Chains A and B, each alone.
Chain A
Amino acid sequence: MDVIVLADRKGQELLPLTDNTCIPLLPLAGKTLLEHTLEALVQAGLRQAHIVLSPYAEEVKGYFGTGERWGMALTYSTSRGEESAVQVLASLANPPESPFLILRGDVLRSNVIGEFLAQAETSTAACLQAQFAGDNAFMMLCREPRPAALANLDWEQTLQACEQVEIAEGVVNKLDSLAAFHQANLAAAAGRIRLLLPGLQTALGMTQGRNSQVHPQSLKQGAAFIGAYCNVHPSVELSGEVVIGDHVIIDQCAVITDSVIMPHSYIGEMVEVRNAIVRGNELIRVDSGAVLKITDAFLLADLNTNPIHQGLGSVYNRILGALLLILSLPLWLLASIAVLLKNPTAPLNKQVLRGNKIILDDFGLPQRAEFVVWQLNVTMPVLRYLPRLLAVISGDLRVVGGLPVSIEQAVQRMEDWEKFADQAPAGLVGPTHLLIPVNATAEEKLLSDSFYWANFSIQQDFRYMAQALRAVFSRKAWFGEV
């Protein structure tokens, strides 16, 4: 049977958890949500599915691939996000053959698909919709190509009449709020939602992922799921229902009660977390929905490092910048003469741009820092931007990267595709500097940075460096527009 999995929710309801990932990739009790959906399909004997994605589609495809790991054959397409199911079906290159199962893959289900299909077999209706506890279970069996009732699968539902099948057992959780997400995690840890948890039961009520260090006596009462590669100090107290994601460190004497700790978080010494979701340095209170950013890294911290400027890459860039500065010394002499002849009273222009260094803002959020750079008041581009070499040495710019922009320009980038270009580090040279005309539209420059980042490779950076060196001797570098 053909299966269509709609996994294109935009995830506004689960912000801030979805501000740098999508709902299908959101970790829930040690696995991504879409992984739970695929496992539920396999349990129901369904081995192939077509998945409709929207935000972070490339990341989802990269993670699930052909689906072999789950014993499935997966294909993908994309939507603009929360598109109507009717429209999604119309846009499929290979529409499913009737009868087919269509369901949302961005809600949590446990043990309901098999029962629904078994019950559906007893009916001859053209379209059957699953109901759970009187509510929409976002799952349909269709015996005709595009029934109007498909609208009932839209995230923004427009309810259409359809024959319904009530599912008596199992669980369906829409995950339509932070509280629902929190509850689903706790229920999975306690076994109220039956999921295949990735770990072994090491003590009564405690399931532990691979390579995690946790002492059974830490669990004072209740149930806990601890993901992979975690380090929980023996003096830590876990009580109620607790879910700890992968790569989490919990320091001594911390107390965790009825909470979800998202992957890559650090909980400091003697910190008490109760009825909350912790993600990095954010404490999300489930009862009030308040999000507290903790600036003191001894209390809560994000163990994920920002890839833009960490590691040896940054050091190599700065050394390369110093080398380029030495090589450019004759140009500085020429620039000094040119600027004194042309604009002796105002030889420099000040610019404030957004660089690559990461600082924490007042709310403890990592931000790219601004830096001041001077431009020489001459018409020759190659001389005009010479002072930017100093920004490479200081680590504010990389040698190769995207076009540096001001904070004001950056905050105007609101759309998902615009923000993608923002992930590119700012550079002294790059495809946008070298190939895109100065008078090109802002969109063209932004997309050039997007393409650069989407196809990023070290070899490509070397090619741009070689191109930039050649460009120094070109007519455009000396007589081009600035």
Chain B
Amino acid sequence: MVINEQKHDDIDIVVLSGRFVMADAPEVRERLKTLVEAGQGKLLVNMESVTFIDSSACAVLISAFKAMQLKTGRLVLVNSPIVQSLIELTRLHTVFEIMPNAEAAIAALAAG
């Protein structure tokens, strides 16, 4: 699992790639927590290159989402098809704001 952090104006971007599973959860949890706390309330988690996620990974995303809600910020996901189908299967699409690609997500976050 590779974690890459980027910044686009006031938007924090985390690009994840590879398998996002239980072993990676603590590190991603910590990185997202730091970004939520220190950021401007706009976070994009780009998982276009993630090949698999498990329940621990989803729990990390839920935690980050809840932390962002407390800050009245916005967390947007960009998913690969396999991640999207797992998220739909567990009905998490009713929670997360999901965009089709990074450009659309940045545009949505920039628009407020």
Contacts and interface: CB of A to CB of B under 8 A. Distances in A.
A429 to B, nearest CB: 16
B104 A441 contact: no
Contacts of A444: 25, 55-56, 59
B54 interface: yes
Interface in B62-106: 62-63, 86, 88-101, 104
A415 B62 CA distance: 12
Prevailing SS type, chain B contact patch:
helix
B29 to A, nearest CB: 9
A70 interface: no
Contacts of A435: 22
Contact of B94 (A92, A416, A443): A416
Name the 5 nearest CB pairs between A and B, nearest first: A93-B100, A444-B59, A447-B55, A448-B55, A78-B93
A451 interface: yes
Given A436-B56, A443-B62, A450-B55, A90 B93 contact: no
A451 B104 contact: no
B104 A90 contact: yes
Contacts of A417: 90-92, 94-95
Contacts of A420: 90-91
Nearest to A437: B22
Nearest to A444: B59
Contact of A451 (B25, B90, B100): B90
A54 interface: yes
Given A91-B98, A440-B56, A451-B90, 13 more contacts: A57-B91, A90-B99, A90-B104, A90-B107, A91-B104, A93-B100, A415-B94, A436-B22, A436-B56, A443-B59, A448-B55, A451-B55, A451-B58
Interface of B: 22, 25, 54-56, 58-59, 62-63, 86, 88-101, 104, 107-108
A58 B89 contact: yes
Contact of B93 (A80, A87, A443, A450): A80
A447 B90 contact: yes
23 contacts: A54-B93, A54-B94, A57-B88, A58-B91, A78-B98, A80-B93, A80-B94, A80-B97, A91-B99, A91-B100, A91-B104, A420-B90, A431-B55, A436-B22, A440-B56, A441-B59, A443-B62, A444-B55, A447-B59, A450-B55, A451-B55, A454-B89, A455-B89
Contacts of B100: 91-93
Contacts of B88: 57-58, 78
A314 to B, nearest CB: 25
A91 B97 CA distance: 9
A25 B79 CA distance: 27
B63 A441 contact: yes
A81 interface: yes
Interface string A438-469: 00110110011011001100000000000000
Nearest to B22: A435
